[in-house]
Amino acid sequence: MDEQTEAVQRMQDYIGVHVTEEITLSDLARVSCFSPFYAHRLFRTYTGFTPAEYIRKLRLAQSALRLKAAGSRVTDVAFDLGFGSADGYTRAFHREFGCNPGTYARSPIPITLFVPYGVKFRALRKEKIDMEKVQSVFVQVMEKPERQVIIKRGESAADYFAYCEEVGCEVWGTLLSMDALEGEPVCLWLPEGYKTPGTSTYVQGVEVSVDYSGPIPEGFDTITLPAEEYLVFQGEPFPEEEYCEAIVAVQKAMDRYDPSLIGYAWDDTQPRIQLEPRGERGYIEMRAVKTVE
């Protein structure tokens, strides 16, 4: 990464750690190793937001998650996350999400949460992948029940980066605001049987119960997946900046794996599933299988 990208990433990291505290431009200038004026300009250029806008959106997103978890009062959430007053917090929440925090706490609906993507990942995407660091990949069988998946389709995307260019990265923020069967959103590569004309292979979504009848965000639709067995491929924990290598390592292991050795065959009529790459748990991808007769 170049010096400017590293400086902005340091500012993002500082904000993430101190988001509930007072954060000044002087603080960000200090961690960036640039003047306050230049640090502000760099931050806006690389993230698309001023530091104040970024901090406000991050605090509002975290406040929504606290309200959704139940048991938190609006006033407590407002002051815990650095808002000067409950009234000011309520106005900011309504501007961001289109509803009042009290109403949201009583009856959460899908909203688009701000996701603080690190600028370092955009730079790392362009770097050459060093496969000498590939480590172990663990494989296990998992049974998933019949379920619905609320998805946002793209146009022609076959991977994450193309998908974000087509639909925007905000989709993940919406999915994070929704209750998922296994606690987190998913990414899927759809076989032809689940695609509609003129839409993408790669989609993002959230798995819900088969009898789900709650709200569906505008522009999303649902597919129903059958009960199925999957082989789960999980790499070792990795430094966040090595996420590309971690993904490639797991996908190469999956390509080489012969499921017939344990009595299965690939079932490519069902979507392949990707979980969010998180360094502390390793990269995880799932592929459907069927028992060999």
CA distance 251 to 245: 10
Q: What is the pLDDT of residue 147?
A: 97
Q: What is the pLDDT of residue 131?
A: 47
Let me know if residue 125 belongs to a domain.
Answer: no
Let me know if residue 120 belongs to a domain.
Answer: no
Let me know if residue 121 belongs to a domain.
Answer: no
pTM of the model: 0.82
- pLDDT band at 242; cut points 50, 70, 90: confident
Q: Is the pLDDT of residue 239 over 90?
A: no
Three-class secondary structure of residue 265 per DSSP: strand
Let me know if residue 124 belongs to a domain.
Answer: no
**Considering the chain, what is the average pLDDT of its residues?**
92
178 shares its domain with 267: yes
Task: Please say which residue of 106, 122, 147 terminates a domain.
Answer: 106
**pLDDT tens digits along 109-153:** 999 999 998 888 776 555 554 544 546 899 999 999 999 999 999
Q: What is the pLDDT of residue 84?
A: 87
Task: Please say which residue of 106, 123, 148 terminates a domain.
Answer: 106
Q: What is the pLDDT of residue 133?
A: 53
Let me know if residue 46 belongs to a domain.
Answer: yes
Let me know if residue 29 belongs to a domain.
Answer: yes
Q: Is the pLDDT of residue 102 over 70?
A: yes
Find the domain containing 26 and state its range: 3-106
> Per-residue pLDDT averaged across 192-203, rounded?
97
- The domain that holds 99 is classified in CATH as 1.10.10.60
Q: What is the pLDDT of residue 69?
A: 86
Which residues 6+ apart lie within 8 Å of 207 measured at CB?
A: 147, 148, 149, 180, 181, 182, 186, 225
47 shares its domain with 183: no
In single-letter form, the type of residue at position 79 comes to F
**In this predicted structure, which of 45-59, 93-107, 120-134, 162-176 has the lowest mean pLDDT?**
120-134
Q: What is the pLDDT of residue 241?
A: 77
Number of domains in the chain: 2
170 shares its domain with 97: no
Q: What is the pLDDT of residue 129?
A: 46
Which residues 6+ apart lie within 8 Å of 204 measured at CB?
A: 151, 152, 163, 171, 172, 175, 185, 186, 187, 188
- The domain that holds 135 is classified in CATH as 3.20.80.10
89 shares its domain with 143: no
